[in-house]
C-alpha cells in the first residue's frame, strides 16, 4: 500500500481501498486524528454484510493482557459479523508483535491512532510498507474549520455571515474535535437564546466560544493535578499544536498548586474551606468542580477553577 500524502487522505476516507484492512492515522492534532479514526471505523463497519462490532483498546488493555490485540483480531464476535478494532498507540504497542499479527489474514479491521510520527518511526514504516495497510497523516493545515462550522450550524437550522464566521474561526484552536465541540455549544446557545432569528452573531460567538488555547491550558492543569497523566499529555500535545509554549503550561500548573497549597495551609491552621477560597488572589471561578489533588488534603476535592493566566 502506498504512503498517502496529506492531500490524499480526504479521498481515502470517502472511499477506503477495498483491500485495506489496517490503517494508521497519525499527526499532531489529536482531535483530527480521533475524528478520522471514527470515520474510518464507520466506513469499515459498513463494508460488512451484517452488523460490525467496534472495539477500543489502549495501553491499559495491553498492560492487563499483552496479547489482547492479537486475540481481538483473530476471534469472531458473538453478536456481529466482524470487528473493527480501534487502538490508541502508546508505549505498550509493540511494532514487531504488531507486524507478526498483521502478517496473518483476518476478517477484522484495525485502526491505530497515533500522535505525530517521524518518517523513521517503526510504526509508520510498518503501515507504509504492508500491502493491505495504509498510513494517513493528519496535520492542522488539513482541518476544514469552515466546513465544520457550516455543517454543524446547518444541522441546527442556523446561519452565519462571512465576517462573523471569520471571527469564530479565529477563536477556534488547533484541535479538530475541540473546535467541533465549541461550534456545537455555540449552536445550542444560539438556538436557546442568542439573537433569536436563526442567525449566529458576533455577540453570540463572544459570549459562548472560549479561547481554545486557554481551554486546553485549563484542561492540562486539572488533568495533571487530578492524577490523570494520559489526559495531561494529550492536552500538552494540543497546546503544542496550537503554538503554546510548554513552559506556559508548567507555569500555570505551578500557580495552580500554589493556590491549592494555600488552601491546605489555611485549613491546617483551623480555617474553613470557604475562608481559604475567599483568601485566594485572584479569586477562583466557581464554574466547575472537577479538580482534585493530594495537596488539597486526603481525598479532598476543590469546587472551583483557578484562572490559569
* Segments making up each domain of the chain, as ranges: 6-142, 145-208, 212-302
Q: Is the pLDDT of residue 275 over 80?
A: no
The CB density around residue 198, as the number of other CB atoms within 10 Å, is: 13
| pLDDT tens-digit series, residues 188-222 | 888 876 555 788 888 888 777 766 566 677 788 88
* The 3-state secondary structure of 57-124, one letter per residue: ECHHHHHHCCCHHHHHHHCCCCCCCEEEEEEECCCCCCHHHHHHHHHCCCCCEEEEEECCCCCCCHHH
What residues pair up with 86 in beta bridges, in sequence order?
Answer: 56, 111
Highest-pLDDT range among 40-49, 136-145, 208-217: 40-49
- The pLDDT value given to residue 100: 93
Nearest to 45 by CA among 77, 75, 68: 77
Which CATH number applies to 6-142: 3.30.70.260, 3.40.50.300, 2.60.40.10, 3.40.190.10? 3.40.50.300
Contact assessment for residue 140 and residue 29, using Cβ atoms and an 8 Å cutoff: yes
- The pLDDT value given to residue 70: 93
Q: Mean pLDDT over all residues of the chain?
A: 79
For 219, the grid coordinates are: 484542561
Q: How confident is the model at residue 295 (pLDDT cuts 50, 70, 90)?
A: very low
Provide mean pLDDT across the span 162-185.
80
pTM score of the predicted model: 0.56
For 13, the grid coordinates are: 476516507
- The pLDDT value given to residue 243: 62
Task: Report which of residues 58 and 2 the model is more confident about.
Answer: 58
CATH number of 145-208: 1.10.8
Among 53-62, 193-202, 223-232, 259-268, the minimum mean pLDDT is found in: 193-202
For 34, the grid coordinates are: 480521533
Q: Is the pLDDT of residue 37 over 50?
A: yes
Amino acid at each position: 500500500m502506498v504512503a498517502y500524502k496529506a492531500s490524499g487522505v480526504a479521498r481515502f476516507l470517502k472511499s477506503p481501498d477495498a483491500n485495506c484492512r489496517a490503517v494508521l492515522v497519525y499527526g499532531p492534532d489529536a482531535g483530527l486524528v480521533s475524528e478520522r479514526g471514527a470515520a474510518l471505523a464507520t466506513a469499515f463497519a459498513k463494508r460488512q454484510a451484517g452488523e460490525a462490532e467496534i472495539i477500543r483498546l489502549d495501553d491499559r488493555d495491553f498492560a492487563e493482557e499483552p496479547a489482547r490485540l492479537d486475540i481481538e483480531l483473530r476471534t469472531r464476535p458473538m453478536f456481529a459479523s466482524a470487528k473493527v478494532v480501534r487502538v490508541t498507540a502508546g508505549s505498550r504497542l509493540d511494532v514487531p508483535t504488531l507486524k507478526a499479527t498483521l502478517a496473518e489474514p483476518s476478517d477484522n479491521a484495525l485502526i491505530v491512532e497515533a500522535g505525530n510520527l517521524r518518517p523513521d518511526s517503526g510504526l509508520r514504516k510498518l503501515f507504509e510498507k504492508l500491502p493491505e495497510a495504509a498510513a494517513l497523516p493528519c496535520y492542522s493545515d488539513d482541518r476544514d474549520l469552515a466546513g465544520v462550522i457550516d455543517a454543524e450550524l446547518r444541522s441546527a437550522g442556523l446561519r452565519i455571515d462571512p465576517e462573523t464566521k471569520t471571527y469564530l474561526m479565529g477563536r477556534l484552536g488547533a484541535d479538530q474535535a475541540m473546535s467541533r465541540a465549541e461550534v456545537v455549544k455555540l449552536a445550542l446557545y444560539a438556538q436557546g437564546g442568542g439573537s433569536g432569528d436563526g442567525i449566529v452573531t458576533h455577540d453570540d460567538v463572544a459570549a459562548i466560544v472560549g479561547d481554545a488555547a486557554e481551554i486546553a491550558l485549563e484542561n492540562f492543569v486539572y488533568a495533571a493535578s487530578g492524577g490523570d497523566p494520559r489526559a495531561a499529555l494529550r492536552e500538552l500535545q494540543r497546546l503544542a499544536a496550537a503554538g503554546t509554549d510548554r513552559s506556559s503550561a508548567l507555569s500555570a500548573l505551578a500557580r495552580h498548586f500554589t493556590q491549592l497549597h494555600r488552601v491546605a495551609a489555611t485549613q491546617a491552621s483551623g480555617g474553613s474551606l470557604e475562608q481559604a477560597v475567599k483568601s485566594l488572589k485572584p479569586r477562583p471561578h466557581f464554574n466547575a468542580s472537577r479538580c482534585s489533588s493530594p495537596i488539597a488534603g486526603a481525598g479532598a476535592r476543590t469546587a472551583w477553577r483557578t484562572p490559569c493566566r
